[in-house]
Amino acid sequence: MSAPLRLGLLGYGTVGRAFVRLLQAESPRLALQAGARLRLVAVASRALPRKLPQAELPSGTRVGEDLLAVATAPDVDVVVELLGGVEPAGSAVAAALDAGRSVVTANKLLLATRGADLATRAREKGVTLAFEAAVAGGIPILRAVREGFTGDGIDVVSGILNGTSNFVLSEMARTARPYGEILAEAQALGYAEAEPSADVEGADAACKLTLLARMAFGQEVPLDSVRAEGIARLRPVDFDYARMLGRTPRQLGIARRLPDGRLLLSVRTHLVSNDSILARVDGPFNAVQVSTVHGGDFVFTGRGAGGDPTATAVLADVVQIARSGHRAGVPPFGWDERSPFAPAGPADLVAPFYLRFVVADRPGILADLTTALARHDVNVDAVLQIPCRDKDALPFVVTLEPVDEARLGRALSDLASFPFHREAPLVLPMTP
């Protein structure tokens, strides 16, 4: 019988505790089904001594606060990093790889900012860097993109990549309550952090999209190349207008390869058709759609966050390492050689758009707006206005025929000079 794979765990928060529970519950089955004998030998966390009931850990597991000691311990084969953030996680992961240890991590920010360096270290040492849990929690989307679609080319990877934002938008659509009230509810339910900006401003989804784009297209995609916009500016009235248009607001991350190989990347709110699968993904769930050259569209859905879903993806990576005999297999990002990043720009995004204005009502506003749009060859499709008693802050909507976003941006710059605006226009692309 082969020796057990010895694990060292860094971090003992929500996901770390879920991983330990899952490891203990599933180890007997995994030994029979996968031939994977797994043993947790060490845990390091700066908060560990204060909050750990020893009964939570397998007998004989040593505990402490020294991350590097566990990351490089001679009796650890695989380091499981669940600290989050760039540091001290980055130094611990680098040390583990340099010491010849395979690493499993759920740390999307670390991978988005330092993934190329860590992948190089893993390759040089002949060990594995695995991170299925870094995108969409328990949904096995990275393995699918990295390995499942190698027989086909990928044109687009898109979807709902942040459960917090999707919960807020779903509840605003369902209840007509304002953004701030529903965000507070999400925090109370544990769907949003006490400091939620990474989720609601798009930074979390941008990290995930960076990893997906690197895997799908083999380019060195930098995190700062992803345009990220949040959801805080949406009002209940936007959901009323969306229903009139047969659409639903969803925050989408989209990585699209153009025919010349350049990549168009963004995280922003779209108005998606109610006929779309993405319109029916409610609450704290994720959904990723992969559009391929020959095979068509594939959609993966499930819980994208939380301790248990994330822990299942972490454990799946550990089992894969055990099955491979602790040998490095497919490169971490799926490509032996990645090409330089080739970015597309606003002129490459062509779509119909939703523009919501809030104005101090007076005669001639619509004529001024449409004239300014026409100067830039931007064609109006429809004008929508729900009756409103507040004439000093009147919301109304203009929808546009398909236009490239560079041209629309120039038109909006002209529109900004009009004195009747009460806030900047809300601009949302409309997608099938």
Which amino acids are annotated catalytic? 208
Residue 285: CB partners within 8 Å, gap ≥ 6?
Answer: 160, 163, 166, 301, 302, 303, 304
For 377, half-sphere exposure in the C-beta direction (CA atoms, 13 angstrom radius) is 6
Distance CA 335, CA 147 (A): 10
Cα torsion for 66, 70, 72, 73, to the nearest 10°?
120
Q: How many Å apart are CA 349 and CA 264, to the nearest integer? A: 8
Q: Are 420 and 359 in contact (CB under 8 A)?
A: yes
Whether residue 302 contacts residue 163, with contact meaning beta carbons closer than 8 Å, is answered with no
Q: Would you put residue 302 in left (φ > 0), alpha (ψ -120 to 50) or beta?
A: left
Tokens 């003992």 locate to: 12
DSSP 56: G
Q: What is the DSSP letter of 145?
A: I
Of 419, 407, 279, 418, the C-alpha closest to 427 is 407
Among 11, 5, 28, 37, smallest CA distance to 102 is for: 5
Instruction: Evaluate whether 278 touches 252 at the Cβ level (below 8 Å).
Output: yes
Dihedral sign for Cα 29, 31, 34, 39, please.
positive
Supply the DSSP string of 196-258, one letter for each residue: -HHHHTSHHHHHHHHHHHHHHH-B---GGGSEE--STT--HHHHHHHHHTTEEEEEEEEEEE-
b (16+ CB within 10 A) / e for 122-133: beebebbbbbbb
Residue where the block lists tokens 């995004």: 349
From the list 301, 279, 300, the residue with the least C-alpha distance to 290 is: 300
Residue 241 near residue 219 (C-beta atoms within 8 A) = no
Pair 345, 408: CB distance under 8 Å? no
